[in-house]
Structure 1
């Protein structure tokens, strides 16, 4: 409680300027003269559409392979921070994407954390694994692998080639809400010889590609296939097939998307920004920004969206 000596005398207040000063003394803000409104008629978006080229990231990671060792870096990765002033982490409001590389014969230590994570493999040859909760899960190009929250995971590249992939996590959401926990595995790299190519944590490209192409068209030239629906509560994964020449338009919606190009080439217009994309590229589509994608040749994209999180809160909206 405030003592009488510290509590302002509101009864003697003569004008609003004086009242505002006294409110500061009791650590409250007035609700009639806010510098910025707390409620507004539609979403405000500070993140911008963005595009990263795999060719650039691969070259940078190859250089980092000479300079950054996994023995002292938690992960050798390149964070795709949305290019707005003051930002060095989130790709979109709720998610972060990063390119990662594990060199031939190298291991990346096992850890676990409250953020959910996934990876989309760009280059990898057998035997190269993500170790998930005591199981070696193979990594092959185009594969989608999950590491749900609090599952130990590390990487073990026993092959004779370097492995490259794209990670996506909901860490920005966890940072915002606060329940962040992280710990290393006691064995540094979890020890196991068990290999499970059919792990529920793996969606092999060789399996989902034909399943996707066998789907009926959602709209002309566009096929969709959900990967592991319900396995992660905060973001989903959808394989999207675009036939050559297809133009796929999406209206403004409250969900944010991150696209990874698994196959093919094309262009995208997102909020008026134009991107030409190819295999391995990443495109950020923040919420409430219209998007249009055009396939120059048959293409497969993985769309990662925070729709499940918004659905749980009844915040999914789409412009009509």
Structure 2
């Protein structure tokens, strides 16, 4: 093949391609596009199918082999092996009576929604707090945390972490506790990091009275919050459908109570207690409750809002 002429476009491209550079006027792949692309997929994970697998893992995998006996929910988009949505990962976890998950800390923020079982507790930076069904508990980044089951029941919960965001930004640090567990521990009945189910129900009752019985009611969990993840509890009365919403934020919904259907970008997904629904960014969605339902919304809105990228529409 003849060499390109010295003053031709082909020669120009060869000159800077060998320098790991690309001309902005002839990109092979665009760097900008009119609106967010549809990358991650809507998906639902069913607790009724997961729980028996966790039970089998409880018999086969002890805490010496895996301190955290969990099953991570990875989005089925091609090439993905970890993230549930772009910036958040969710997992189901189970701890058996007498087991202790040793303390560690990491830069990702984390939280958990307790599904079933009593007698377990978490220790976060020296504060020991009981975990009960319906409770939501926070583990802020770089806080020591461990879990233990001092009761007689297997305990099941859901974890949510911003690990995929940390992967993208690179500041990942992880450290196991040098002694295995924190030595100076204070047992607390209540703590800012623990949102009790009965308090959430009371807040939802108050909000329901304000918006009316036939409308969805939503409350933000706080005042303690994570920097990268916002949390809301939403109650949807039986037979009610939420307004269609599209947002640049990524969302995961966990079913705390009831059953119904979520339609994401035209795809209908049924859900019931304990299920997990992934709704990637910029996909229009609605929820419909077949019976009175309560959903936990886990969203990366704080990140988008901080950077000026949060957009929400009602298409």
User: Given the two structures, how large is their TM-score scaled by the length of structure 1?
Assistant: 0.93
1:247 match: secondary structure: coil
Q: Which residue of 2 aligns with 1:111?
A: 104
Report whether the alignment pairs 1:206 with 2:198.
Answer: yes
Deviation at 1:319, TM superposition (A): 2.6
1:195 match: secondary structure: strand
Q: Which residue of 1 aligns with 2:80?
A: 87
Deviation sequence 1:67-109 (CA, Å, 0-9, x none): 2222232421111100111111111111000001111110111
Q: How many correspondences in the alignment?
A: 309
Aligned residues of 1:136 and 1:192 also touching (Cα < 8 A): no
- The match for 2:50 among 23, 44, 57 is 57
User: Within 5 Å, which residues of 2 pair with 1:218-229?
Assistant: 220-229=214-223
Deviation at 1:190, TM superposition (A): 2.5
User: Given the two structures, how large is their TM-score scaled by the length of structure 2?
Assistant: 0.94
Report whether the alignment pairs 1:124 with 2:99.
Answer: no
- The match for 2:20 among 5, 9, 27 is 27
- Give the Cα separation in 2 of the matches to 1:167 and 1:139: 13
- Give the Cα separation in 1 of the matches to 2:117 and 2:188: 16
Q: Which residue of 2 aligns with 1:182?
A: 174
Q: Which residue of 1 aligns with 2:290?
A: 296
Deviation at 1:193, TM superposition (A): 5.1
Higher mean C-alpha deviation, range 302-311 or range 226-235 = 226-235
- Give the Cα separation in 2 of the matches to 1:280 and 1:93: 22
Report whether the alignment pairs 1:139 with 2:137.
Answer: no
- Give the Cα separation in 1 of the matches to 2:81 and 2:67: 17
Aligned residues of 2:123 and 2:185 also touching (Cα < 8 A): no
Aligned residues of 1:107 and 1:189 also touching (Cα < 8 A): no
- Structure 2 unaligned blocks of 5 or more: none
Aligned residues of 2:106 and 2:141 also touching (Cα < 8 A): yes
- Give the Cα separation in 2 of the matches to 1:13 and 1:313: 45
- Give the Cα separation in 1 of the matches to 2:302 and 2:278: 18
Q: Which residue of 1 aligns with 2:252?
A: 258
Aligned residues of 1:229 and 1:236 also touching (Cα < 8 A): no
Deviation at 1:14, TM superposition (A): 2.8
Backbone CA RMSD of aligned residues: 1.7
- Give the Cα separation in 1 of the matches to 2:54 and 2:181: 22
Deviation at 1:251, TM superposition (A): 2.1
Report whether the alignment pairs 1:307 with 2:306.
Answer: no
Q: Which residue of 2 aligns with 1:9?
A: none
Find runs of 4+ consecutive structure 1 residues off by over 3 angstroms: none
